């Protein structure tokens, strides 16, 4: 997974939104190909008063950048966008974009991908416009599955092409059947969508590695021979499997907790250290299963375990969801099941400091 990782400045996390005083910013300019690597669908952080916690958002952005991830995703399924107003969504994107400007050398751009899904073309395009204005470089779009029982593949293709034509930023297809009322896009449909030049990637949270393999080999055919389309898996339990068939990386919620371990799998693969990559993938897959089972609530519950007790307050989810009992059986299962990856993550962080 040859990645285009950014170069971070000396670590320093802003506690309030910063305003750039020059135009030499570090957010990627379209229509460049999205680089291979690990993209993190960031959690949402709230204050005890149930407002967007900007300092916590920026703190987490900075730590992910320092870990060497390739890009950031806001308002994915881990980001509770469905629990936010449009104003709050813009606040989160601005907080992330301001931190990227603050933390990263301007010559090494970091993509910021914003979830902009809605049930209608009109609202989806409006969300794309607002995301761009707030600092996003790309939009991540679900199939509009509310009326999935009467939604044909032709309608879906037309929808994505219309979004891509009218959006001010390039889009990626987000294939997540559970979040789209069961609508699972097959590889033939995604290939038809990928023929549009402003559709520049896909996230396969369906977990279908056969579909991933077909897209890797067939997308250039529908794009005039160009290798300008990012094909990623949607969870950390099959990073290596995706690499083996030519995939370009992952957009994984578990990378909120163990970004360095996720990045390291790709590095080991690129270095030909397949036995080490396989061993690390085994550890990550075990831990990621807990993140998958418990969802974003479980990832939030693990944040203090990985990043310190200071993250406890900011990681309470919005109703109807509640934080898992810190002393309960579920949190103990998460901590025990993720302990080995936490040790790996700390070892990788220590090695990075010593290098």
Active-site residue set:
203
Contact 80, 89 (CB under 8 A): no
Q: Strands, DSSP E only, in 49-156?
A: 71-74, 112-115, 138-142
Other C-beta atoms within 10 Å of 321: how many? 14
β partners of residue 199: 171
Of 297, 214, 287, 205, nearest to 252 by C-alpha is: 205
Of 236, 262, 232, nearest to 245 by C-alpha is 232
Q: What CA–CA distance (Å, rounded) separates 13 from 58?
A: 7
CA gap 71, 37 in Å, rounded = 8
Taking the CA of residue 129 as centre, how many other CA atoms within 13 Å lie in the half-sphere pointing to its CB?
Answer: 8
Both tokens of 230, joined, read 């990012």
- DSSP for 333-355, please give it: HHHHHHHHHHHHHHHHHHHHHH-
CB atoms within 10 A of CB 298: 21
CA distances from 197 to 33, 97, 118, 122, 126 (A): 11, 25, 22, 20, 20
> Other CB atoms closer than 10 Å to residue 198's CB: what's the count?
18
Decide: 121 and 163 in contact? Cβ < 8 Å.
yes
> Helix axis angle, 121-134 relative to 153-166, nearest 10°?
40
**Nearest-angstrom CA–CA distance, 236 and 312:** 24
Alpha helices for the chain (secondary structure H): 54-66, 86-103, 121-134, 153-166, 187-194, 209-222, 239-244, 259-270, 274-307, 329-354
């Amino acid at each position: 997974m040859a990645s285009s990782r950014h170069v971070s400045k000396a670590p320093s996390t802003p506690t309030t939104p910063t305003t750039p005083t020059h135009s030499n910013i570090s957010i990627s300019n379209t229509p460049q190909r999205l680089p291979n690597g690990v993209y993190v669908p960031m959690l949402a952080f709230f204050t005890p008063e149930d407002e967007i916690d900007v300092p916590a958002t920026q703190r987490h952005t900075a730590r992910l950048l320092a870990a060497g991830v390739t890009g950031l995703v806001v308002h994915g399924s881990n980001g509770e966008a469905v629990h936010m107003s449009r104003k709050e969504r813009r606040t989160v994107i601005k907080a992330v974009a301001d931190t990227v400007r603050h933390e990263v050398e301007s010559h090494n751009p970091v993509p910021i991908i914003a979830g902009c899904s809605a049930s209608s073309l009109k609202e989806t395009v409006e969300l794309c416009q607002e995301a761009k204005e707030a600092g996003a470089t790309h939009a991540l779009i679900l199939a509009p599955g509310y009326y999935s029982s009467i939604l044909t593949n032709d309608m879906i293709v037309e929808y994505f092409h219309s979004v891509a034509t009218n959006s001010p930023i390039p889009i990626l297809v987000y294939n997540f059947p559970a979040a789209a009322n069961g609508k699972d896009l097959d590889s033939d449909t995604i290939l038809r969508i990928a023929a549009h030049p402003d559709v520049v990637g896909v996230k396969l949270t369906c977990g279908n590695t056969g579909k991933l393999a077909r897209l890797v080999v067939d997308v250039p055919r529908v794009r005039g021979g160009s290798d300008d389309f990012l094909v990623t898996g949607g969870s950390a339990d099959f990073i290596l499997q995706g690499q083996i068939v030519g995939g370009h990386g992952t957009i994984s919620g578990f990378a909120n907790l163990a970004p360095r371990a996720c990045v390291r799998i790709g590095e080991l693969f690129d270095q030909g250290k397949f036995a080490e990559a396989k061993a690390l993938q085994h550890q990550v897959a075990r831990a990621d299963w807990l993140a998958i089972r418990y969802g974003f609530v479980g990832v939030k519950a693990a944040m203090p375990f990985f990043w310190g007790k200071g993250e406890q307050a900011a990681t309470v989810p919005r109703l109807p969801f509640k934080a898992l009992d810190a002393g309960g059986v579920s949190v103990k299962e998460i901590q025990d099941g993720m302990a080995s990856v936490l040790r790996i993550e700390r070892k990788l962080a220590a090695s990075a400091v010593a290098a």
